[in-house]
Amino acid sequence: MQNTLKIQRAIKNVTQAELADAIGVSRQSINTIEKGKFVPSTMLALKFARFFEVPVEKIFILDEDD
C-alpha cells in the first residue's frame, strides 16, 4: 500500500508534529506511516481523511499486488 500523506501535509503546510497533535498519535507514528513501515487502522485512516478534507482513497492507495 502506498500513501500520499507527505504530499497532503505539504499541501496543507503542516509539520509531522502538528499533524500528530491534531490526530492524537505520536510523531513517530506519522513518520513510520509516511515511510510505509506501518499501515494504520481504518479509524486512523478516516481521521487523516477528515483532517485533510479528502477521500481516504486519495491518501491511501492499494498496490496492484495488494
Amino acid identity at 28: Q
What is the rounded CA–CA span in Å between residue 30 and residue 26? 7
Q: Answer for the pair 6, 63: CB distance below 8 angstroms, yes or no.
A: no
Figure out which of the listed residues 2, 22, 36, 38 binds another protein, where binding follows CB under 8 A. Answer: 38
59 binds another protein, rule: CB under 8 A:
no
- Least Å distance, CB 64 to another protein, is 26
Figure out which of the listed residues 14, 25, 54, 56 binds another protein, where binding follows CB under 8 A. Answer: 25
42 binds another protein, rule: CB under 8 A:
no
How many CB atoms neighbour CB 1 within 10 A?
A: 10
